[in-house]
Amino acid sequence: MNAFVINQYGPPTVLKVTKVSTPLIGPKEILIHIAASGLNPLDYKIRRGDLKSIIRFSFPKVIGTDVAGTVVGIGSQVTDLQPNDEVYAMLPVPKFGGFGEYVAVDAKYVAKKSTNLSFEEAAAIPAAGLTAWQALRKKANINPQSRVLINGASGGVGTFAIQIAKAAGAQVTGVCSAQNIPLVKDLGATEVIDYKNQDFTRIPHQYDVVFDAVGNRSFSECKPILAKKGTYVTTAVSPKVMLQSVLSSIGGKTCKIIMVKPDKEDLYQLAQFAEADMIKPIIQKIYNATEKNMVEAHQQLESGHTVGKLVMKMNFQDADD
């Protein structure tokens, strides 16, 4: 099969289209013929070697976590999926394997995609959608009374977070740059703060939940806008935040870290929400599978200013550009 393979850490040009063996499936696995893969900041962090001390694997390596496609092989112990099922998944770390034509993955990570979404739309959901879902529903326990502020509201995680908070009946404030204000309002934020004009940590409002999807504002900075028993959740994982999360668990305002986990049941819930038109993936660009496009997609991701998601069709043979 064709895949984007890295043989070393480095710039986007280390991602080379290469012929590799199609993966074999174990008894608990399924083989997915990948139609489209979603891209995430994790991909460039892995590619650059930023996380090499904690996420270990050997080269050559096919990276990529988010896939949507069709089931073409079933392990002997898999009972809940069939050949031809249209599915999507977040692939576990450090196995990855999303930037190729096929991937073998444990069926416990795979859910059927929503029927009203294309493969490209479904591929945009897994890691970002699961992060937003697990942060707001599982870490912050949002409810219809929650006042929720989302920093990074126009990004991959943020665009799902607004919709998930809105669907829960919460009152949503989004933080983004001026050009993305119409999008963030359209997704369900009743108030939007342009971070270039106003520091959201200094506004005279209280929030039950502050979700820092960018990961650039600390718990201490956000404390003044957190309600008495408010929860701060961040996507930034560091020893300092981990310590704060342990210390803050004693009472009052709470600091939590989200470390997204692949989860079939959560993906099922997200598919149900998509089916009911309560969430829709926002996609900045869909690429064909060429090395040039993969470089462009990684450069865009690294800019830190992607609107919603980037998706690549895994259409190597017929990809022109």
| Contact positions vs ligand NAP (CB under 6 A) | 40-42, 127-128, 131, 151-152, 154-158, 175-177, 180, 195, 213-216, 235, 237, 258-260, 301, 304-306
Query: Which residue matches tokens 């399924």?
Result: 30
Shortest Cβ 181–ligand NAP spacing (Å): 9
Q: What is the rounded CA–CA span in Å between residue 199 and residue 194?
A: 8
Distances (CA, A) of 116 to 26, 93, 152, 208, 318: 31, 28, 27, 33, 25
* Cβ closest to ligand NAP, residue 100 vs residue 129: 129
CB 106 within 8 A of CB 22: no
User: One-letter amino acid identity for 200?
Assistant: F
Report the residue closest to ligand NAP, judged by CB.
Answer: 155
Shortest Cβ 302–ligand NAP spacing (Å): 9
* Cβ closest to ligand NAP, residue 96 vs residue 102: 96
* Cβ closest to ligand NAP, residue 19 vs residue 196: 196
For CA atoms 256, 147, 277, 181, the dihedral sign is negative
* Cβ closest to ligand NAP, residue 2 vs residue 254: 254
* The token pair that represents 64 in the structure block: 């990529």
For CA atoms 157, 162, 167, 173, the dihedral sign is positive
Shortest Cβ 72–ligand NAP spacing (Å): 29
Supply the DSSP symbol for 136.
I
Shortest Cβ 54–ligand NAP spacing (Å): 12
Shortest Cβ 131–ligand NAP spacing (Å): 4
* Cβ closest to ligand NAP, residue 152 vs residue 230: 152
